[in-house]
Amino acid sequence: MATAFTPSRRPQARLTALRRVQRALAQTHDLGQLFRQLHAEIGCVMDTTSFLLGLFDETSEMVEVVGQIEAGLELPGGSFPLGHGFLSEAIRTRQPRLIRHWSVEGPRVQVQYATKTPGLPESTVTVPLAVAQRVIGVLSVQSYARDAYDEDDLFFLESVATQVAHAIDAWERAEASRAIGRASKLEAVLSCITDGLLVLDAAGRIVSLNPPARSIFGSIGAGIILGQPLDHEQWGQWPLGANVVGEALAPVIDGLQRGEAHRDVEVEVNASGRRVLSFTGTPIASAAGGPAGGVVVIRDVTNQRDIARLRDDLLSIASHDLRTPATVLRIQAQMLMRELGRVAPADVPAAERVQLMLDQTDRLTRMLNLLLDLTRVEAGRLDLHTEPTDLVALVQRVVRAVQALSIDHTIRLNGPRRLEGEWDAARLEQVVQNLLTNAIKYAPDGGNIDVTLCVEGDNVTVSVCDEGLGIAADELPNLFNRFYRVARTSGLEGSGIGLYVCQAIVTAHGGRIWATSDGPGRGSTFWLRLPLCVGPDQDGCA
């Protein structure tokens, strides 16, 4: 529908409008605001019933509509791919277009954006926003009246478009240089970090990598191209060492693309010397919550691993070799005790001293055994020797031995008469003994200790429940960590190794161990669940 419009066609009015556009460009850097001001200023000299400003992105070939006004109503922006409509043609050909009588002159596709105005525009002036050879957008005015525009209008709109194009181009350049500034600050931060760091985008392309990351890839590092995915095409060509690093990184990078984190993935690289590298990938989420790339930290942990291996070897050798003199000492102390009983049965102080020697050598042997087990667990060498075992008889043996250690505690056993399974008897004895001696040690005021065996489906559950010091809820998950000790129990003798080894033994049997407690001062229960490997001859729970 044609709108009654009487713009001032005097040259003076156009000059004034141009000056005001210039001022607006100097005053605002906000595209939306600029769009509205352009509409107002151009509207003083031309019919702007329909008015559109769009920006063109060369890379994606998309036109982003900054704003569109239809009969005074501002319509929402949007974007469209470069096509063959009159807006796209102006961008594609870099030529302005003046149409005086659209229904006669065409082109056929008249409007890119749906509007509610009935009928179709009859006149338009559409000009590209060009900077040198580049088109960065398009400006279009349309009227529902025929012959609404002439050559002077075309010339005027081209002048406006030139100014607008240069201003927007300058803003974009300034924004780009700010981004480069930000990027170089990021580079500076990354280069201060001693660990290798890779920053990846959503497509797994390397956006940034710092000097330590480059050096981890060896001579190849300098050749890693930013903006390229670190995929097999790249590392497949590399020499062995760099190739192995690339391959180890692949699952971490794949994980990041799915938004998954990877922690401490270790790989041993054997090329011009042995190196152990540890990768940690942390995903970055986009504002919408989807994966948007991530950061990979690469750490050379060769020294730490070598030291750890040396420590384990030393511990293993020491604990193994020290057991022999400890055994010899115990045998000698036993013989001495026997000798004393024969030659001086009344010498109680001497007998007490020899007993002390016996107790201490036993303690030393226990500690050495624990240390040896610890090194075995750490090295993954905790081998099981399973055989048909009656778990009830095994637990009864341990209960008898541990009951002998305390007159303040009463150990009560509940369970079937027999319970056969395929287990490593010596190792399970060690677990039950650890749980029972703990139940005594951490119940210093004495009390009852209930040991219950119960078959549930294909599993047997053993629980050891004491009335002792109890454990706070937040400490329960840490109990089975190496060297972990509950703070309140630090006054009592202990090393924090026993439960760690117990867990390894139970896990090696395909079972599970855990603890529950109603809190400090309210006792604890340790639970052990083992699969019955051999059909049980059970009587059910007592």
196-223: buried (b, 16+ CB within 10 Å) or exposed (e) per residue?
bbbbbbbebbbebbbbbbbebbbebbee
Strands (E), 213-273: 262-270
Distance CA 472, CA 466 (A): 15
Instruction: Say if CB 291 and CB 202 are below 8 A apart.
Output: yes
Q: How near is the Cβ of 362 to ligand ADP at its closest, in Å?
A: 15
From 204, 496, 520, 531, residue interacting with ligand ADP (rule: CB under 6 A)? 496
Q: Judged by CB under 6 A, does residue 495 bind ligand ADP? A: yes
Q: How near is the Cβ of 422 to ligand ADP at its closest, in Å?
A: 26
Interaxial angle between packed helices 11-27 and 151-192, expressed in degrees from 0 to 180 and rounded to the nearest 10: 10
Closest to 429 in 3D by CA, of 325, 363, 502, 487: 502
Closest to 296 in 3D by CA, of 269, 263, 331, 325: 263
Q: How near is the Cβ of 466 to ligand ADP at its closest, in Å?
A: 5
Q: Judged by CB under 6 A, does residue 497 bind ligand ADP? A: yes
Distance CA 70, CA 476 (A): 68
Distance CA 394, CA 425 (A): 7
Q: Judged by CB under 6 A, does residue 499 bind ligand ADP? A: yes
Q: How near is the Cβ of 367 to ligand ADP at its closest, in Å?
A: 9
Q: Judged by CB under 6 A, does residue 479 bind ligand ADP? A: yes
Side-chain-side CA neighbours of 469 within 13 Å: the count stands at: 18
Instruction: Say if CB 254 and CB 222 are below 8 A apart.
Output: no
Single out the segment in contact with ligand ADP by CB under 6 A; choices: 25-33, 231-239, 256-264, 490-498: 490-498
Distance CA 258, CA 265 (A): 17
Single out the segment in contact with ligand ADP by CB under 6 A; choices: 62-70, 129-137, 156-164, 495-503: 495-503
Distance CA 336, CA 515 (A): 43
Q: Judged by CB under 6 A, does residue 378 bind ligand ADP? A: no
Single out the segment in contact with ligand ADP by CB under 6 A; choices: 58-66, 202-210, 380-388, 478-486: 478-486
From 371, 460, 469, 532, residue interacting with ligand ADP (rule: CB under 6 A)? 469
Distance CA 286, CA 256 (A): 12
Single out the segment in contact with ligand ADP by CB under 6 A; choices: 43-51, 106-114, 239-247, 465-473: 465-473
Q: Which two tokens stand for residue 418?
A: 């027999």
Beta bridge partners of 517: 524
Q: How many other CB atoms are there within 10 angstroms of residue 353's CB atom? A: 14
Q: How near is the Cβ of 492 to ligand ADP at its closest, in Å?
A: 7
Q: Judged by CB under 6 A, does residue 439 bind ligand ADP? A: yes
Q: Judged by CB under 6 A, does residue 468 bind ligand ADP? A: yes
State the binding string over 500-529 for ligand ADP (x if CB under 6 A, else -).
Answer: x-----------------------x-----
Q: How near is the Cβ of 430 to ligand ADP at its closest, in Å?
A: 11
At 287 the three-state DSSP class reads: coil
Q: How near is the Cβ of 342 to ligand ADP at its closest, in Å?
A: 37
Contact set for ligand ADP, span 100-129 (CB under 6 A): none
Q: How near is the Cβ of 449 to ligand ADP at its closest, in Å?
A: 9
From 143, 210, 243, 438, residue interacting with ligand ADP (rule: CB under 6 A)? 438
Q: Judged by CB under 6 A, does residue 489 bind ligand ADP? A: yes
To which residue do tokens 């117990």 refer?
502
Q: How near is the Cβ of 439 to ligand ADP at its closest, in Å?
A: 5
Instruction: Say if CB 283 and CB 296 are below 8 A apart.
Output: no
Q: How near is the Cβ of 490 to ligand ADP at its closest, in Å?
A: 8
Q: How near is the Cβ of 355 to ligand ADP at its closest, in Å?
A: 23
Closer CB to ligand ADP, residue 157 or residue 499?
Answer: 499
Tell me the C-alpha to C-alpha distance, in Å, between residue 427 and each of 54, 387, 505, 526.
77, 11, 7, 17
Burial class (CB in 10 A: 0-12, 13-18, 19+), 508: middle
Q: How far, rounded to the nearest angstrom, does the alpha carbon of residue 95 sit from its chain's CA centroid?
A: 51
Rg, the chain, Cα only: 41
Three-state SS sequence of 165-178: HHHHHHHHHHHHHH
Closer CB to ligand ADP, residue 277 or residue 443?
Answer: 443
Single out the segment in contact with ligand ADP by CB under 6 A; choices: 160-168, 257-265, 332-340, 497-505: 497-505
Closer CB to ligand ADP, residue 21 or residue 471?
Answer: 471
Q: How near is the Cβ of 507 to ligand ADP at its closest, in Å?
A: 15
Distance CA 216, CA 201 (A): 21
Closer CB to ligand ADP, residue 90 or residue 449?
Answer: 449
Closer CB to ligand ADP, residue 153 or residue 466?
Answer: 466
Instruction: Say if CB 269 and CB 238 are below 8 A apart.
Output: no
Q: Judged by CB under 6 A, does residue 434 bind ligand ADP? A: yes
How many residues form the binding site for ligand ADP (CB under 6 A)? 21
Single out the segment in contact with ligand ADP by CB under 6 A; choices: 78-86, 387-395, 404-412, 493-501: 493-501
End-to-end Cα separation, the chain, in angstroms: 94
Closer CB to ligand ADP, residue 25 or residue 370?
Answer: 370
What's at 193, amino acid-wise? I
Contact set for ligand ADP, span 265-324 (CB under 6 A): none
Q: Judged by CB under 6 A, does residue 442 bind ligand ADP? A: yes
From 167, 471, 505, 513, residue interacting with ligand ADP (rule: CB under 6 A)? 471
Which position's Cβ is nearest ligand ADP?
494
Q: How near is the Cβ of 400 to ligand ADP at its closest, in Å?
A: 20
Interaxial angle between packed helices 498-508 and 425-441, expressed in degrees from 0 to 180 and rounded to the nearest 10: 150
Instruction: Say if CB 379 and CB 417 are below 8 A apart.
Output: no
Residues lying near ligand ADP in the complex (CB under 6 A): 434, 438-439, 442, 466, 468-469, 471, 479, 484-486, 489, 494-500, 524
